Amino acid sequence: MINIAILGYGAVGSGLAELIKAKGKTWQLQIAVKYVVDIRDVSSQLENTATYTTNFDTILADDDVTIVVEAIGGTESAYNLVKQALLKGKHVCTSNKELVTTYGAELLQIASNTQAKFMFEASVGGGTPVIQPMYRTLQIDQIIEVAGILNGTTNYILSTMSTTTKTYETILQDVQQRNYAEKNPWEDVGGFDAARKLAILLSLATGNQLNFRDIHTEGINNITRDDFSFAHEFGFTIKPLVWGYINQNGIYAISAPILVHRKHPLANVCNAFNAAMIKTASTGNLMFYGEGAGKTPTATAIMADIFRICSATTHGLTWSTNTAKIQPFDDFSCCKLVQVAGKNRAFITAHETEHATAETLKNVPVAKMFRIYDYD
The enclosing H or E element of 296 equals helix 295-309
Helical H runs in 114-249? Answer: 131-140, 152-163, 168-177, 186-189, 192-206, 225-233
The enclosing H or E element of 31 equals strand 31-37
Nearer to ligand HSE, 220 or 334 (CB): 220
Cα–Cα distance, 98 to 104 (Å, whole number): 9
Per the CB < 8 A criterion, the answer to whether 252 and 146 are in contact is: no
Q: How many residues bind ligand HSE (CB under 6 A)?
A: 11
The enclosing H or E element of 357 equals helix 354-360
197 catalytic residue (yes or no): yes
153 is a contact residue toward ligand HSE (CB under 6 A): yes
Cα–Cα distance, 197 to 201 (Å, whole number): 6
Nearer to ligand HSE, 11 or 20 (CB): 11
Backbone angles phi, psi at 192, to 5 degrees: -75, -40
Q: Which amino acid would we find at residue 53?
A: T
Per the CB < 8 A criterion, the answer to whether 210 and 324 are in contact is: yes
In whole angstroms, the minimum distance from the beta carbon of 75 to ligand HSE comes to 15
Window 100-129: residues binding ligand HSE (CB under 6 A): 126
Nearer to ligand HSE, 31 or 202 (CB): 202
94 is a contact residue toward ligand HSE (CB under 6 A): no
Selected from 14, 96, 151, 237, the binder of ligand HSE by CB under 6 A is: 151
Among the residue ranges 44-52, 108-116, 145-153, 343-351, the one whose residues contact ligand HSE (CB under 6 A): 145-153
217 is a contact residue toward ligand HSE (CB under 6 A): no
Per the CB < 8 A criterion, the answer to whether 132 and 301 are in contact is: no
Selected from 35, 118, 120, 180, the binder of ligand HSE by CB under 6 A is: 180
Find residue 337's DSSP bridge partners: 348, 370
Catalytic member of 97, 197, 279, 295? 197
DSSP letter at 201 equals: H
Per the CB < 8 A criterion, the answer to whether 332 and 254 are in contact is: yes
Nearer to ligand HSE, 33 or 161 (CB): 161
Among the residue ranges 138-146, 157-165, 176-184, 209-217, the one whose residues contact ligand HSE (CB under 6 A): 176-184
Nearer to ligand HSE, 143 or 301 (CB): 301
Nearer to ligand HSE, 166 or 178 (CB): 178
- Interface mask toward ligand HSE for 291-310; x: CB under 6 A: -xx-----------------
CA proximity to 68, closest of 13, 126, 133, 22: 13
Among the residue ranges 139-147, 149-157, 160-168, 275-283, the one whose residues contact ligand HSE (CB under 6 A): 149-157
Backbone angles phi, psi at 32, to 5 degrees: -120, 135
Selected from 70, 193, 227, 305, the binder of ligand HSE by CB under 6 A is: 193
Name the site residues for ligand HSE (rule: CB under 6 A).
Answer: 126, 151-153, 180-182, 188, 193, 292-293
> So which residues are the catalytic ones?
197
